[in-house]
């Protein structure tokens, strides 16, 4: 897994299988578990409720900057009222699917493709329904390789930590400077 550090404190986690990546902020990644993604997305028919960018950010526990980024990438299409963005139930559903796709390890480009093919005539969408069997298999393989690499990194760091804890503390025992 490669990390490219940018001057702004951003990094990109690249997925070698897909040769694309997802942006990280200050080296940390905010993951959303299935339980954190709001399940109360209203039905598309007959809803006229519009949500502000602040409400969306709070409801989905993402930053306002994240919502703007998804809009710039063409994943969300809020209405504009002057300089204000207004999100409808379709945008809420798309955001839910974006976050679920990220949780499953897909890149934003892949999520965009899935969203484009996953909406049925009734306006209902299930992320998994937009996936091909080959995509599911490839993603499982990729995540299992990642897990193996993470497990190996944890073992290496635990060994290093154990060695450090076994060393005499500075000022105790023999002088390490060789004098």
Residue 98's SS3 state is helix
What is the C-alpha to C-alpha distance for residues 21 and 2, in angstroms, rounded to an integer? 10
Give 13 or 102, the one with higher predicted confidence.
Answer: 102
Q: Give domain 36-131's CATH architecture.
A: Orthogonal Bundle (1.10)
pLDDT band (50, 70, 90) for residue 36: low
Instruction: Please give the pLDDT value at position 113.
Output: 85
What is the C-alpha to C-alpha distance for residues 134 and 138, in angstroms, rounded to an integer? 6
Q: What is the pLDDT of residues 90-106, one digit of tens each?
A: 899 999 999 999 998 88
What is the C-alpha to C-alpha distance for residues 42 and 89, in angstroms, rounded to an integer? 6
Give 175 or 149, the one with higher predicted confidence.
Answer: 149
Average pLDDT over residues 29-33: 51
What is the C-alpha to C-alpha distance for residues 38 and 30, in angstroms, rounded to an integer? 16
Q: Mean pLDDT highest for which of 3-7, 31-35, 91-95, 154-158?
A: 154-158
- pTM, to two decimals: 0.59
Q: CB 59: neighbour CB atoms within 10 A?
A: 17
pLDDT band (50, 70, 90) for residue 117: confident
What is the C-alpha to C-alpha distance for residues 141 and 147, in angstroms, rounded to an integer? 10
For the chain, what are the domain ranges? Answer: 1-30, 36-131, 133-166
What is the C-alpha to C-alpha distance for residues 115 and 130, in angstroms, rounded to an integer? 7
Q: Which of 78-82, 133-137, 144-148, 168-172 comes out lowest in average pLDDT?
A: 168-172
Q: What is the pLDDT of residues 106-116, one digit of tens each?
A: 899 988 888 88
């Amino acid at each position: 897994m490669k990390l490219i550090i940018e001057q702004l404190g951003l990094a990109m986690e690249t997925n070698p299988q897909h040769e694309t990546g997802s942006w990280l902020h200050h080296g940390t990644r905010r993951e959303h578990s299935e339980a954190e993604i709001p399940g109360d997305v209203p039905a598309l028919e007959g809803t006229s409720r519009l949500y502000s960018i602040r409400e969306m950010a709070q409801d989905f526990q993402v930053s306002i900057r994240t919502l703007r980024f998804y809009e710039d990438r063409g994943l969300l299409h809020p209405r504009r009222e002057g300089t204000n963005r207004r999100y409808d139930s379709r945008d809420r559903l798309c955001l839910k699917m974006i976050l679920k796709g990220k949780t499953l390890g897909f890149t934003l480009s892949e999520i965009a493709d899935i969203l484009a093919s996953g909406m049925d005539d009734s306006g209902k969408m299930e992320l998994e329904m937009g996936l091909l069997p080959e995509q599911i298999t490839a993603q499982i393989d990729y995540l299992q390789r990642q897990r193996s690499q993470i497990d190996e990194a944890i073992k290496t760091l635990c060994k290093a930590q154990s060695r450090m804890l076994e060393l005499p503390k500075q000022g105790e025992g023999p002088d390490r400077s060789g004098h």
